[in-house]
């Protein structure tokens, strides 16, 4: 009888140890997932800042007679497309939605870059203080976007590594933890831009 009680005590102790370990692993994964969500919120913030700057920038540029209509159209279309994609953390659970978001934001960045390049042809625009202020804010925002995307990738890497590490990998999927996507460079970014004089 004492052997049976000893075995039962041993099983209970082992079950308690495994239970405490499992709770610790689960809590660690929750903490890592929330760090990813927090980093994502920062990406959302800087994307929203850029979206808010664009109407003011376009309105300032429109004041310059003869400015290319196609540039306005490209920016309006890119902003509308980027605005249609939900920037919530739910996009992190859908790799295809994440790719669409990344593509739309890339198109918006490209359209804004073209606006800045075309504006070089208009001396009266380059002399406009509102334009210069908005251009400076937009450049700062683009830098913030790059920083926050890098931060997001670093936090997502830590989370994804934890998910794939043994023994966490054995129950992470069962508990509903999913890998997070990374931001990547735009297609063609590996090629240097062509400069023509």
In a domain, residue 106? The reply is: yes
43-57 per-position pLDDT tens digit? 999 999 999 888 888
In a domain, residue 73? The reply is: yes
179-191 per-position pLDDT tens digit? 999 988 766 555 5
In a domain, residue 17? The reply is: no
Q: Which contacts (CB < 8 Å, 24+ apart) does range 5-8 have? A: none
Residue span of the structural domain in which 149 resides: 39-172
- Going by C-alpha positions, the residue among 30, 40, 176, 159 that lies closest to residue 97 is 40
- Going by C-alpha positions, the residue among 124, 136, 4 that lies closest to residue 65 is 124
Question: Is the pLDDT assigned to residue 105 strictly greater than 80?
Answer: yes
Answer yes or no: are the C-beta atoms of 98 and 181 closer than 8 Å.
yes
Question: Is the pLDDT assigned to residue 80 strictly greater than 90?
Answer: no
């Amino acid at each position: 009888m004492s052997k049976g009680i000893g075995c039962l005590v041993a099983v209970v102790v082992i079950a308690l140890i495994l239970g405490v370990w499992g709770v610790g692993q689960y809590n660690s994964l929750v903490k890592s997932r929330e760090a990813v969500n927090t980093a994502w919120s920062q990406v959302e913030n800087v994307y929203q800042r850029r979206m808010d700057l664009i109407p003011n920038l376009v309105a300032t540029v429109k004041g310059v007679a003869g400015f290319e209509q196609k540039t306005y159209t490209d920016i309006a279309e890119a902003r509308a497309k980027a605005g249609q994609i939900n920037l919530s953390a739910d996009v992190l659970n859908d790799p295809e939605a994440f790719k669409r978001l990344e593509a739309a934001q890339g198109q918006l960045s490209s359209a804004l870059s073209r606006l800045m390049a075309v504006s070089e042809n208009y001396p009266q625009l380059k002399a406009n203080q509102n334009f210069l202020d908005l251009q400076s804010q937009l450049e700062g925002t683009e830098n913030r976007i790059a920083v926050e995307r890098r931060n997001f990738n670093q936090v997502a890497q830590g989370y994804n590594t934890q998910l794939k590490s043994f023994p966490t990998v054995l129950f992470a999927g069962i508990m509903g933890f999913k890998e997070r996507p990374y931001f990547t460079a735009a297609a063609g970014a590996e090629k240097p831009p062509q400069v023509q004089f």
